[in-house]
């Protein structure tokens, strides 16, 4: 049991995880490896994370009584998704430490607040404008050259809640189709590549970043991650420094992911921050098999008040997501030499659903 | 659900595991990574494996009703320890496939049967003799030079149930202290090193062996495993061939470990089989972090009727067991760069109790 101050778990203590998807599942397995127990809270009775923990709570996030009982059972609480309702976080935080802290959710749940936060740190992003009506959309289009991307401020993921705005498009129609009252318009970024940095920060302010990952999306969903990214050491250093700065500014405890664009600049390529995910991230799944310590373990260590690890990468790594029907090929993947297959224990392979992933490591000496 | 013939699980199917220790725990986690569920059967309510599965059965191995209910809940059954009572295995095998098969337990639960089996394959062991009385012990001593080792035929592990017999020792006293009616006397082997081979065999007769591991014991308990073993490629090939021959001869399905001694011979070092463990083995724990596919996953693949993997080793690996109070140093281990820490979630660190282990990988290019 922990007080509401600094967390310092002992082996055998229990971590509460909000959310029962594959991220919660992999967090729970990482905790188990460290001798820590987990209890998962999720409204979905078929939650993949339920399969790997002794105790599960199946209840709605608005169920205050269930939240209180859950909090009483655990020593510290974390989450696998950034859209934890504020009221949920508040009920839990009154009883147990919630890490990363609730104020971080407020920043990262809203694209406008997040972008302004990043900008205030002096870190570059794509040009963006607040959009709350057809009129503000029109003036945003006038300021930001088209094509541009309109995104809902909240609850977007995997390309949901966004649309490209092109020359000649009708702003009223776009606004109507987006069906929101709060959005941002972002300049379309002609990026050379997409990269991400997975950073862990402990309560005492120590930060460990993994090597920069290069990401390839298909239909707005991550398909491949490769590490190291094919960028210069200098640019990789800049990307890691950005993630570190963000982690410090948020007074973050746990693992976060910063997604960045690499764009052409006058003095060579430079990075723009695209998005912050206050959680373990799909582009960090390669760390499970490609490094001595995974992002999931780093997150658990951070929220447990344990020292972060110094992960050593085993070589060049490629992570391939198994999305929807990709899962039907699992037997072929099982036979690929050096490939490590992860299946998430989900039921039906709906289109766009992340069903598993595969990691392939090429040893360091063949780099 | 599977018939009693060939097993072929689908993701989402359930594996029953007999035994709730760290081996069962790591088997369950490997199964989860492949999208398979596990149910653990163990009489110990504090079983570490209970923490990582949705369903657990806490009952005695002689509880036929509990065994039957357990069998009904699962699609295939395996075990983490070789001393599964024959009656238990029989009850289960009548309802679901039990892998490795029950007949293998009969061979490996008894040192005399096991040694005779190995000998019949034309594979070398230390000289041994059946001992069932003070008289047979005396004639065994006359035939096998002292020092020698007397071992109970059944239920010995980690040095329990064995004693060294030296010149001048009193046979009657030794026999009395051993407290058994069936033992073997083995010639003391002046080995150069102890090695082991972890081999996986699938139902279709395919075998995959890991690189040979070199083992160092303290007080009869494994303390360090290092891979690759410091032996010639030729000798390593011989050791793997021995394991493969044993796996085929047993018509084995799953992972087994063969412990061998390397001894000086006329034409150079040669290997003697010391022991067969019909299960995942402590000397294979390095595969969790040091190879693309672990021994636990290979075992799960084999008993699920899935293709075995082709594991790729990430470099030179050292595995250190955390025994008893070693566990108190876990925080120091957490800070060692490149070290991966496993804690088994056990309670009190009694002397000799395996509480966790640490893997350290040195990348292949620095070999």
What are the pLDDT digits (tens) for B35-74?
Answer: 999 999 999 999 999 999 989 999 999 999 999 999 999 9
Q: Is B32 on the interface with A (CB under 8 A)?
A: yes
pLDDT, tens digit, 9 for 90 and up, residues A98-133: 999 989 999 999 999 999 999 999 999 999 999 999
- Which residue of chain A has the CA closest to B13? A345
Supply angle C-alpha A123, A126, A127, rounded to 5: 105
CB < 8 Å from A in window 304-363 of B: 306-307, 309-312, 314-315, 327, 330-331, 334-347, 356, 359, 361, 363
Q: Is the peptide bond before A147 cis (omega within 30 degrees of 0)?
A: yes
| Helices B86-93 + B64-73 axis angle, to 10 | 40
Asked if the Cβ–Cβ distance from B52 to A50 is below 8 Å, we say: no
Q: In a 10 Å sphere around its CB, with 0-12 CB exposed, 13-18 middle and 19+ buried, how is residue B169 labelled?
A: middle
pLDDT at B366: 46
B37 labeled part of a ligand binding site: no
pLDDT at A160: 76
Distance of CA B105 to the CA centre of its chain: 12
Asked if the Cβ–Cβ distance from A35 to B361 is below 8 Å, we say: no
pLDDT at B9 over 60: yes
Distance in angstroms (rounded) separating the CA atoms of residues B86 and B289: 34
Q: Region A63-68: what's the mean pLDDT?
A: 98
What does pLDDT average to over chain A? 94
| Nearest one of B361, B201, B366 to B287, comparing CA atoms | B361
pLDDT at B6: 83
Structure confidence at residue A5 as a pLDDT band (50, 70, 90): low
Structure confidence at residue B120 as a pLDDT band (50, 70, 90): very high
Which domains are present in chain A?
14-98 (3.40.50.20), 127-187 (3.30.1490.20), 193-366 (3.30.470.20)
pLDDT at B298 over 90: yes
Taking one residue from A and the other from B, the number of pairs with CB-CB distance under 8 angstroms is: 148
Residue of B200, B304, B310, B314 to mutate for A, most A C-beta atoms under 10 A:
B314
Asked if the Cβ–Cβ distance from A312 to B337 is below 8 Å, we say: yes
Asked if the Cβ–Cβ distance from A347 to B12 is below 8 Å, we say: yes
pLDDT at B195: 98
pLDDT, tens digit, 9 for 90 and up, residues B15-37: 999 999 999 999 999 999 999 99
Q: Region B155-179: what's the mean pLDDT?
A: 85
Supply angle C-alpha A255, A261, A266, rounded to 5: 135
Q: Region B274-301: what's the mean pLDDT?
A: 97
Q: Region B297-326: what's the mean pLDDT?
A: 96
> Which stretch of A245-254, B125-134, B159-168, B350-359 has the lowest confidence by average pLDDT?
B159-168
CB-CB contact of A99 with A304 (8 Å): no
Distance in angstroms (rounded) separating the CA atoms of residues B152 and B186: 11
Strands B213-218 and B193-201: antiparallel
pLDDT at B365: 53
Q: Is B34 on the interface with A (CB under 8 A)?
A: yes
B243 labeled part of a ligand binding site: no
Query: Which of A12, A334, A347 is opposite residue B309, by nearest beta carbon?
Result: A334
First-last CA distance in chain A: 46
Q: Region A135-164: what's the mean pLDDT?
A: 88
pLDDT at A178: 87
pLDDT at B157: 67
pLDDT exceeding 70 applies to what percent of chain B?
96
ipTM for the predicted complex comes to 0.93
Query: Which of B32, B307, B367 is opposite residue A29, by nearest beta carbon?
Result: B32
Query: Which of B50, B312, B356 is opposite residue A337, by nearest beta carbon?
Result: B312
Q: Region B200-213: what's the mean pLDDT?
A: 97
List residues bridging with B201 in a β-sheet. Answer: B207, B254
Beta-carbon contacts of A189 under 8 Å, excluding residues fewer than 6 positions away, are A126, A261, A263, A272, A274
Strands B14-18 and A37-42: unpaired
Element (H, E) at B303: helix B295-304
CA atoms within 13 A on the CB side of A40: 34
List residues bridging with A184 in a β-sheet. Answer: A130, A151
């Amino acid at each position: 049991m922990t007080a509401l101050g600094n967390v310092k778990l002992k082996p055998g203590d229990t971590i509460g995880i909000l959310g029962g998807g594959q991220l919660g599942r992999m967090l729970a397995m990482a905790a188990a490896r460290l001798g820590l127990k987990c209890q998962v809270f999720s409204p979905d009775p078929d939650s993949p994370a339920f399969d790997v923990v002794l105790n599960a709570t199946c209840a709605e996030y608005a169920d205050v009584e269930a939240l209180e009982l859950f909090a009483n059972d655990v020593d510290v609480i974390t989450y696998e998704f950034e859209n934890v309702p504020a009221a949920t976080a508040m009920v839990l935080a009154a009883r147990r430490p919630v890490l990363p802290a609730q104020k971080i959710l407020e920043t990262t749940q809203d694209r406008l607040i997040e972008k302004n936060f990043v900008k205030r740190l002096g870190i570059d992003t794509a040009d963006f404008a607040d959009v709350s009506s057809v009129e503000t959309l029109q003036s945003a289009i006038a300021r930001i050259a088209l094509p541009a991307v309109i995104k809902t401020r909240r609850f977007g993921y995997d390309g949901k809640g966004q649309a490209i705005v092109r020359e000649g498009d009708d702003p009223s129609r776009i606004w109507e189709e987006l069906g929101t009252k709060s959005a941002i318009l972002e300049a379309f970024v002609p990026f050379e590549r997409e990269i991400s940095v997975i950073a862990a920060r402990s309560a005492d302010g120590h930060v460990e970043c993994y090597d920069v990952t290069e990401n390839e999306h298909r239909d707005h969903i991550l398909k491949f991650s490769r590490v190291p990214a094919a960028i210069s050491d200098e640019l990789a250093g800049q990307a890691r420094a950005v993630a570190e700065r963000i982690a410090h500014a948020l007074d973050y405890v746990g693992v976060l992911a910063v997604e960045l664009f690499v764009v052409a600049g006058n003095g060579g390529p430079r990075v723009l921050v695209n998005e912050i995910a206050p959680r373990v991230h799909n582009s960090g799944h390669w760390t499970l098999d490609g490094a001595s310590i995974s992002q999931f373990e780093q997150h658990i260590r951070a929220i447990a008040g344990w020292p972060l690890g110094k992960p050593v990468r085993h070589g060049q790594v490629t992570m391939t997501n198994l999305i929807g029907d990709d899962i039907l090929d699992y037997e072929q993947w099982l036979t690929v030499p050096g490939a490590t297959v992860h299946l998430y224990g989900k039921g039906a392979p709906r289109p766009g659903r992340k069903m598993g992933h595969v990691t392939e490591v090429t040893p360091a000496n063949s780099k």
